[in-house]
Amino acid sequence: MKTTSTYWNPLADYNIAMWQEIEGSEGNLHQLTLAEDKTTGDYTRLTRFADGYDTSKFGAKSHDYPEEILIISGRLYDAAFDIWLEQGYYASRPPQEIHGPFKADGEVIVLEISYPSQSIILNEQ
């Protein structure tokens, strides 16, 4: 079962210390896990990109599990799809869909809901 919490504002300035830097991003990417299921690995998180940050050094990504994303703020370029994702854009990605690398135009915040429990590798065994 996913963790729960009462109403709070993860985007408020007074919660900035809760964000964790993503390794290798030199302070340009941060994440904040909002809820997680420690048994299944499913999670909901926010990812924040610094203005102008380009993730090309990490390359394109794919996962063995489905995920959903919603652009909360800013504008994010997805090179795999050659598209600028504006505030409000949503995607439901199937397992193994290639996405990124990304480039931020302004500070970007993305809501991500991921389902490792639905990994195609786990289901093929």
Alpha-helical regions (H) of the chain: 120-124
Question: Is the confidence at residue 51, as pLDDT, over 80?
Answer: yes
CATH of span 29-124: 2.60.120.10
pTM of the entire predicted model: 0.93
Q: What tokens does 61 get?
A: 């990504």
Work out the percent of the chain whose per-residue pLDDT is above 90.
94
Residue 59 burial class via C-beta count within 10 angstroms: exposed 0-12, middle 13-18, buried 19 and up: exposed
| Distant-in-sequence, close-in-space partners of 89: CB < 8 Å, separation ≥ 6 | 70, 71
d(CA 109, CA 87): 9
Q: What is the rounded average pLDDT of the residues 14-20? A: 96
Model pLDDT for residues 99-121, shown as the tens digit of each residue: 999 999 999 999 999 999 999 87
Please report, for the chain, the start and end positions of each structural domain, with discontinuous segments joined by +: 29-124
Q: How confident is the model at residue 123 (pLDDT cuts 50, 70, 90)?
A: low
Q: Which residue has the tokens 């063995």?
A: 64
